[in-house]
Structure 1
Amino acid sequence: MSRYYWGVDLGGTKIECAVMSRDDDQCIVRERIATEGEHGYEHVLQRIKSLIDICAEKVGEYPERVGFGTPGVLDPQTGVMKNCNSTSLNGKALDKHLASLLGVPVKLANDANCFALAETHLGVVKQVKPDAEVVFGIIMGTGVGSGIVVNGKVLYGCHGIAGEWGHNVLEANGEPCYCGKHGCLETVISGKGLEAHYQKLAQRTLSLPEIVEQAELGESFAQHTVTRLIEKFGLAVAQIINVIDPDVIVVGGGVGNVEALYEYGPKAIERHLFNPVLNTLIVKPALGDSAGVFGAAMLVK
């Protein structure tokens, strides 16, 4: 068995590869290149192959297998990708094509699942509750994604969509979502959704950090936007806790930097919880932008 395990984070703008030491989980080699997705699916595959070759030369050996974090999921029924915002991947048998191109077995998981897996084994969960059985990892940025880890392993589900929290309807008559529904969580508490809500109230455009800053200065529309975030976050997270009852919830992405979520979010969750008190830990991630590629590698450790 090789001393190393390999992961690739396949993003819309960049592809990143990490080679990890099996002995101590340290990153030995880490490289990234532009995805160049505008040139099509076959070109993206060749970019992945080029990146693997670059890392293989640096580490002195070719991988035995590779884990991939992907912007979407592999449908277990059809064997092709779905729900990818990098649309050239949709409808493609990505795992089979990668295995054929690279000549080694591959394993795929949604990027939010990789985030949750890395934070469980290498990040904040290891620090705050190393014996956690169930971890829910949230990425609240431009959109909203999430992943579930149970007993140290990614939960995929019957349709491959376990953890697709962002596309539960939170507001029945809410804003349209790209998925075809209205009022999805992603349209309400994503960074983009919060900025749109503020713009509608204030008739001016601010970034989320600017909205938070204005809220701290007492601006009423900004305060309303942040309060709404906390209340909607509390309702949506309580539903998850009522169903899978995780030990730890890790909140990543730009929205996860809003300190009010940690100060007031737990009380907002408790109001909707089927339990008198909240014992689930709500924490920030520890790995930053390393989580995706490290989690991808852990798929094949």
Structure 2
Amino acid sequence: MIQIGIDFGGTKIEAAALDASGRFLSRVRTPNPGDYDQALRDLRDLVAKVEAEAGATGTVGIGMPGSISPRDGLMRNANATFLNGRSFREDVEVVMGREIRTANDANCLALSEAVDGAAAGAKSAFAVIVGTGVGGGLVVDGQIVEGANGMGGEWGHVPLPWMTAEEFPGPACWCGLHGCLDMLVSGTGFQADHARRTGHTLDGPAIVQAARRGDAAAVATLDAYVDRLGRAMAMIANIVDPDVFVLGGGMSNVEEIYDRLPAVIDAYAFGGNWKGRIVPARWGDSSGVRGAARLWPLSA
């Protein structure tokens, strides 16, 4: 039996088949069509293609933006907005003619890294997704913690902790609130903060490179970013105290943050003397599709 994972992204949909050792047997992708019915057909066709290339049938797991409400089974909070309000899992099962499993994409990254990635062997791991937006996922003893309302790990829409007077109330968030982490510690938030400080619009890598050259404004933007991300992670440390933080998304590629974050977390963690690991995702952009495949045990 093989495991098939699908990463339902905002611009692309990728399917992959893994063998028992976690080796890729097939990987295919298609652009996200932006249309619900077409997306269902694309999912069916992608699975058929990877199964044909792998020469075997398998279980199917889907990592998706947003989450499915345990109350009514409908999708919510997906940035692929045509999914919201739809009975996504049930509709995919009808089209594919088989049972599937689904999870938030950040949860899939956390699961992938806990199974055989950067957090392998840890009792608990929290995935920190800092890319276009901010996502999070918690895995304990190899199991995703989704919570009673399916909102476990959704730290992107809590306010930045320990705000300074200058930071309060924070920028408006698309969710309708102010000061959410999604607006402040995402890659998008990093760029927006630099623009507010300087009046100049640069992408994230350009700001980081400028900071490395000693540009004072870029240094200030990066310093503020590390401090804010560290405060946010200290909040998680105070609530969950994971063995490992695993970072994914574009800002996880900024090497400087790994040396600097522990001191910030320690300064805000209750009681101080915080010790823990902060590591980049081993599987990088592949973590989502790998975690989706891992929603089914190998014995299934």
- TM-score after normalising by structure 1: 0.94
Within 5 Å, which residues of 2 pair with 1:196-211? 196-211=192-207
- Which secondary structure state, in structure 2, belongs to the residue aligned with residue 16 of structure 1? strand
Instruction: Write the letter of the residue equivalent to 2:288.
Output: G
State the identity as a percent.
39
Deviation at 1:140, TM superposition (A): 0.3
Once residues 194 and 4 of structure 1 are traced to their aligned partners in structure 2, the CA distance between those partners, rounded to angstroms, is 40
SS at match of 1:271: helix
* 1: CA distance, partners of 2:263 / 2:118: 22
1:8 corresponding residue in structure 2: 6
Q: Distance in 1 between matches of 2:54 and 2:260?
A: 47
How far is the alpha carbon of 1:62 from its aligned partner? 3.3
1:116 is matched with 110
**Whole-angstrom distance in 2 between the partners of 1:212 and 1:57:** 44
Which residue of 267, 271, 275 corresponds with 2:263? 267
- The equivalent of 1:97 in structure 2 is 91
Residues of 2 paired with 1:34 and 1:234: CA distance?
35
- 1:81 is matched with which residue: 65, 69, 75? 75
Q: 1:230 aligns with which of 188, 204, 226?
A: 226
SS at match of 2:90: helix
User: Is residue 249 of structure 2 the alignment partner of residue 253 of structure 1?
Assistant: yes
Measured after TM superposition, the shift of residue 68 of structure 1 is 0.5
Pairwise CA distance, 1:148: 0.4
With structure 2 as the length reference, what TM-score do the two structures score? 0.94
Equivalent residue in structure 2 for 1:142, among 129, 132, 141: 132
Partner residue, 2:28: 31
| Deviation beyond 6 Å, 4+ runs, structure 1 | none
Q: State whether structure 2 residue 152 is matched by structure 1 residue 162.
A: yes
SS of the residue corresponding to residue 101 of structure 2 reads: strand
Query: What does residue 277 of structure 1 align with?
Result: 273
Cα distance between partner residues in 2 of 1:146 and 1:72: 11
- Are the counterparts in 2 of residues 230 and 260 from structure 1 also a CA contact under 8 Å? no
Q: Which runs of 5+ in 1 are unaligned?
A: none
- Output the CA distance in 1 between the equivalents of 2:53 and 2:226: 46
Q: Is the 8 A contact 1:189 1:233 kept in 2?
A: yes
Q: CA deviation at 1:217?
A: 1.7
Instruction: State the 1:25 CA deviation.
Output: 2.0
Q: What is the deviation of 1:7?
A: 1.1
CA distance in 1, matches of 2:56, 2:294: 18
Counterpart for residue 54 of structure 1: 49
Partner Cα separation in structure 2 for residue 147 and residue 122 of structure 1: 16
Q: Offset of 1:243 from its aligned partner? A: 0.5
Distance 1:110 1:162 in 2: 10
Q: Is the 8 A contact 1:177 1:184 kept in 2?
A: yes
Note the C-alpha offset of 1:230: 1.2
What root-mean-square deviation, in Å, do the aligned CA atoms of Structure 1 and Structure 2 show?
Answer: 1.1
Distance in 2, matches of 1:57 and 1:134, equals 36
